[in-house]
Amino acid sequence: MKFMKLGSRPDTFYTTEAVRSVSSEVSSDLIVQVKGNRYLLHRFPLLSKSLRLQRLCYENPETSQHQIVQIPDFPGGIESFELCAKFCYGITITLSAYNIVAVRCAAEYLQMTEDVEKGNLIYKLEVFFNSCVLHGWRDSIVTLQSTKAFGVWAEDLGITSRCIQAIASKVLAHPSKVSLSHSYSRRGRDDISCNGSESMRHKPTTQGWWAEDIAELGIDLYWRTMIAIKSGGKVPSNLIGDALRIYASRWLPNLSKYVNIEKEAESDHELDSTREVTSKHRLLLESIISLLPAEKGAVSSSFLLKLLKAVNIVKASSSTKMELARRVGIQLEDATC
């Protein structure tokens, strides 16, 4: 997994009576409240890198020893705020595919742009994201998965779409050109680790190598990723069909048991819970069916029959049932000719 280290100072943040502070010879003069959590910090390092904090301090004039700023709707929560704050102090922080979305959204909220300081956090994050994270197969998938928690923020910043495009481009590339290796090399200050050995054992060897990895995605992101892959026009329809079969087996359990559970539900709460699960399975099924290749034989008759049984169990839409029944009929007719 690729990572980036920023800053060189040791971590001097500490907690006293539920208040997070930073050790310094200079007295603190700024209190930042993030979603109910209090930070006792210093204006100069934070305001020198954050336009939003500058504005908030201007709008809330100092009335005591400490100026108080409240940020109740901070994206990413206290973890991402603290990483941004540590960056302002020059304290070493480590970024990877697991936290880059949270920190990128936080930096955008704080407006840590080049207008405030050259080489600010947003710039460094974008360099790392574009030159390292999106170049890694696993990194791209992990990052895409983490966008789910940030909704509109990740969409507006183009993080979700860039991850999807990066994944699709690797699927569409020749397997020999895709490296699945992970790098853990270390360097000095502001370390951006993007390099690593690319031995053949880390390269995909079969055409459908990607299907199981992207099957980890939730249905919304999976659907968008598969649309991007299909629109490339390079992946054979049978591989698309295999990928959908793998995804269905990953996310669809034995649906028949939910029919019995719904019948045996003893309370309204149990019934509502069961119906919610059924609704999710219905959405998943309808999404999978919408992705089925149009070509005959792209998916097996047995898989189509299983899908048809499943849509009847979860009471999918009439149009979905009719389309799937039509596909099954055509394929079975061809098989008997």
pLDDT tens-digit readout, 228-265:
999 999 999 999 999 999 999 999 876 655 455 445 54
Question: What pLDDT was estimated at residue 303?
Answer: 92
Residue-level pLDDT at 96: 97
Candidate from 35-49, 60-74, 252-266 with smallest mean pLDDT: 252-266
On whether the CB atoms of residues 159 and 145 are closer than 8 A, the answer is: no
Mean pLDDT of the 171-187 span = 60
| Structure confidence at residue 186 as a pLDDT band (50, 70, 90) | very low
Q: What is the mean pLDDT of the chain?
A: 86
Sheet with 93-96, strands from edge to edge, namely 93-96, 3-6, 192-193
Task: Indicate the helix (H) or strand (E) that contains 44.
Answer: helix 43-47
Indicate the pTM of the whole model: 0.87
User: Which amino acid type is present at position 24?
Assistant: S
For residue 313, pLDDT over 90 is answered with no
Q: Helix/strand/coil (H, E, C) string of 284-325?
A: HHHHHHHHCCCCCCCCCHHHHHHHHHHHHHCCCCHHHHHHHH
Cβ distance 105 to 76 under 8 Å? yes
- Domain assignments of the chain as residue spans, ordered by start: 1-205, 236-337
Rounded to an integer, the average pLDDT of 24-45 is 94
Q: If phi over 0 gives left and psi between -120 and 50 gives alpha, with beta otherwise, what is residue 195?
A: beta
pLDDT score of 270: 56
Please check whether residue 50 is in contact with residue 111, taking contact to mean a CB–CB distance below 8 angstroms. yes
Percent of the chain with pLDDT over 90: 63
Question: 172-195 burial, b for 16+ CB within 10 Å, e for fewer?
Answer: beeeeebbbeebeeeeeeebbbbe
Cα 149 to Cα 27: distance, rounded to the nearest angstrom:
36
Residues in contact with 288: Cβ distance below 8 Å, sequence separation at least 6, in sequence order: 244, 247, 248, 307
How sure is the predictor about 331, in pLDDT bands with cuts at 50, 70 and 90?
confident
Tell me which CATH homologous superfamily contains domain 1-205: Potassium Channel Kv1.1; Chain A (3.30.710.10)
Higher pLDDT, 180 or 332: 332
- Residue 63 pLDDT: 66
Q: What is the mean pLDDT of residues 43-47?
A: 96
Closest to 178 measured CA to CA, from 140, 135, 236: 135
